[in-house]
Amino acid sequence: ARMRVAVVGAGVSGLTATKCCLDEGLEPTCFEQSQDIGGLWRYTEHVEAGRPSLYASVISNTSKEMSAFSDFPYPEDFPVFLPNARLLDYLRLYTEHFGLQKHIKFGTTVVSVRKRPDFATTGQWDVVTEADGKQMSHIFDAIMVCSGNFYEPSLPLHSFPGIERFQGQYFHSRQYKHPDVFQGKRVLVVGMGNSGVDIAVEASRVATKVTICTSRGAWVFGRVFDHGYPWDMVFNTRFMSLIRNSLPGPLSRALINYRVNQWFSHENYGLKPEQSCQMREPVLNDDLPSYILTGRVTIKPGVKEFKDNSVVFHNCPEEEPVDIVVFCTGYNVSFPFLEETVVKVENKHASLYKYVFPTHLQRPTLAVLGLIKPLGGIMPVTEMQARWVTRVFKGRRANVSSPVYQNTVQTGHVPSMHQEGFLSLETPELRSSLRIDCLVYMDKLASLIGAKPSVLGLLCRDPWLALTIFFGPCSPYQYRLGGPGRWEGARQAIFTQWDRTLKPTKTRVPAGSSSPCPSLLTVLGFLLLLAALFFGF
């Protein structure tokens, strides 16, 4: 009989998990509590309990070529960075193309997932679901948790003295939908992640005054990067990753410092991160510097205390009048359907092997997907996790036979956070602890399933392809060139990635203009120039 797998959630992770189960000959059942696919990317006008909530203007932070599933490129006419509705369109195309719909049970909530009495030998799970007020019990051989972590807001009001006497309005960013709520108001945005900056920029178009307060600061990237190319297609290359990861820590930080300040001086704009936060994920926003420059947005240090109708910042004696406060303070990790002993949280720590498998389970038959925030596209990362997990479930090259993992299972001893790719979840610090170097992590997982491309091997057989995947963008198609799940179209997809990138923007071509995509020689020259700059300071 085929192995039965329960997939919890039909968002990005759940869809690719379902597809990878089918690829490996497993039998997936995907439970989705709402009536449609999309998860985080399905915008609704009203906030729904237990579901992620987007604001209307959300646009992807990663470009379409770098955030495609590895065997399903975006249509060439889709914009380079995707408004939420277009990203949902892509997920619908993916679902239809691979026939995933028939494996999804909509309107079905997973109530509980419990180990069966014979778990130590079978690895099986008792799953209780609820639909139309009726509960049902099921037995599954394995579980893929794809419910994400964007539905339980973290709102630590105890960290903000005086908030109880504040007379104005305040809410978590999860409640935000449209900027008209800020019309003519004095707005304070607490927190400097992507949502905080997006909301501040939007608010400033209708508000009287907008202030962002941040105790840590942040590096700010634009989606539009060098020569107008998407930031991740320039930044996330094997060549650049090799440079970044080969340098000693201080030199690597200096390199990043130099690179991010080429656009504008973060120190002059009040944005430079604290020393301890310099390796955190940057914020993606093309407007913020110009909005600071034109006085539409002001940056302040962290909140010291709230008064009746104002706020006092650290190191700033004067009070600032405020009407509305938006807390962009992130989300808690929460798996309400799991027993605490499954994904253990002790002293606000839990452990996941390679960011996926709970370390203490006797059998690796439960995996958590997408609980990371890569500096790059989440879709290829969760897909790679799913490709690995489904092969572990089947017992093929099940690389949780790592001695470190086995030692953890047998002794209960959890290694240090950086040893063997273990993740230590510090719940309040989720935003910083779950940052990963996308390319390094993808390569690690790909090597576990035999899908990591060999640049040196290709140099002999297909030198043009080898140069393209080393110096060009590390797009997901590279992980379909060989090994299990090999896709015939991968090589062609790599060579046409710039065509698909430029198609939606190069809509007017002057007479006698150059070719529609940057030649590899141009890209090589540009990257070598960057390398010279980096090594020259």
Listed residues 387, 420, 440: the one ending a domain: 440
Number of domains composing the chain: 2
In a domain, 108, yes or no: yes
Using the 8-state DSSP alphabet, how is residue 3 labeled? P
Q: What is the per-residue pLDDT for 371?
A: 87
Contact 340, 115 (CB under 8 A): no
Instruction: Assign 522 a pLDDT band (cuts: 50, 70, 90).
Output: low
- Say which range, 82-86, 400-404, 530-534, has the weakest mean pLDDT: 400-404
Q: What is the per-residue pLDDT for 443?
A: 96
- Say which range, 100-109, 154-163, 394-403, 482-491, has the weakest mean pLDDT: 394-403
Q: What is the per-residue pLDDT for 533?
A: 53
Instruction: Give me 238's structure tokens.
Output: 């094997």
Please report which helix (H) or strand (E) contains residue 466, including its range: helix 463-471
Tokens 């009989």 -> residue: 1
Same domain, 270 and 373: no
196-220 pLDDT per residue, tens: 999 999 999 999 999 999 999 999 9
Same domain, 43 and 126: yes
- Average pLDDT value for residue range 472-480: 98
C-alpha–C-alpha distance, residues 103 and 385, integer Å: 20
Helix, strand, or coil (residue 374): strand
Same domain, 285 and 429: no
- Average pLDDT value for residue range 45-57: 91
Q: Is the pLDDT of residue 528 over 70?
A: no
In a domain, 453, yes or no: no
- Average pLDDT value for residue range 247-275: 89
Same domain, 176 and 322: yes
387-422 pLDDT per residue, tens: 999 999 998 544 555 544 555 444 333 333 333 343
Same domain, 376 and 360: yes
C-alpha–C-alpha distance, residues 268 and 293, integer Å: 10
In a domain, 519, yes or no: no
Same domain, 197 and 286: yes
* Cβ-Cβ contacts under 8 Å for 317 (sequence gap 6 or more): none
- Average pLDDT value for residue range 114-137: 97
In a domain, 388, yes or no: yes
pTM over 0.85: yes
Q: What is the per-residue pLDDT for 220?
A: 95
Q: What is the per-residue pLDDT for 433?
A: 38
In a domain, 253, yes or no: no
Same domain, 44 and 162: no
Same domain, 10 and 94: yes
User: Can you give the CATH number for the domain in which 25 is found?
Assistant: 3.50.50.60
Q: What is the gyration radius of the CA atoms in the chain, in angstroms? A: 24
- Average pLDDT value for residue range 235-263: 88
Instruction: Give me 295's structure tokens.
Output: 């006085």
Q: Is the pLDDT of residue 504 over 50?
A: yes
Listed residues 329, 345, 361: the one ending a domain: 329
C-alpha–C-alpha distance, residues 172 and 176, integer Å: 7
E strands, 9-66, in order: 27-32
E strands, 391-486, in order: 422-424, 435-436
Listed residues 271, 305, 329: the one ending a domain: 329
C-alpha–C-alpha distance, residues 275 and 253, integer Å: 10
Please report which helix (H) or strand (E) contains residue 247, including its range: none
* Cβ-Cβ contacts under 8 Å for 178 (sequence gap 6 or more): 55, 56
C-alpha–C-alpha distance, residues 211 and 201, integer Å: 10
Computed over every residue of the chain, the mean pLDDT equals: 88
Contact 222, 59 (CB under 8 A): no
Same domain, 395 and 370: yes
Q: What is the per-residue pLDDT for 51?
A: 87
Q: Is the pLDDT of residue 484 over 60?
A: yes
Q: What is the DSSP string of 415-443?
A: --TTGGGEEE--GGGHHHHTEE-HHHHHH
- Give the residue, 51 or 72, on which the prediction is more confident: 72
126-154 pLDDT per residue, tens: 999 999 999 999 999 999 999 988 888 99
In a domain, 473, yes or no: no
Contact 180, 55 (CB under 8 A): no
In a domain, 161, yes or no: yes
Instruction: Assign 423 a pLDDT band (cuts: 50, 70, 90).
Output: very low
Helix, strand, or coil (residue 346): strand
Q: What is the per-residue pLDDT for 398?
A: 45
Instruction: Give me 25's structure tokens.
Output: 């000959």
323-353 pLDDT per residue, tens: 999 999 999 888 899 988 888 655 444 578 9
Question: Burial, 419: exposed, middle or buried (Cβ in 10 Å; 0-12, 13-18, 19+)?
Answer: exposed
Same domain, 128 and 97: yes
- Say which range, 88-102, 236-250, 355-369, 401-415, has the weakest mean pLDDT: 401-415
CA atoms 60, 474, 523, 537: torsion sign? positive
Please report which helix (H) or strand (E) contains residue 399, including its range: none
Instruction: Give me 133's structure tokens.
Output: 């007020």
Instruction: Assign 431 a pLDDT band (cuts: 50, 70, 90).
Output: very low
Same domain, 160 and 307: yes
CA atoms 414, 420, 424, 425: torsion sign? negative
8-34 pLDDT per residue, tens: 999 999 999 999 999 999 999 999 999
Domain, as residue range, for 303: 155-222+263-329
In a domain, 280, yes or no: yes
Same domain, 9 and 90: yes
Q: What percent of the chain has pLDDT over 70?
A: 86
Instruction: Assign 529 a pLDDT band (cuts: 50, 70, 90).
Output: low
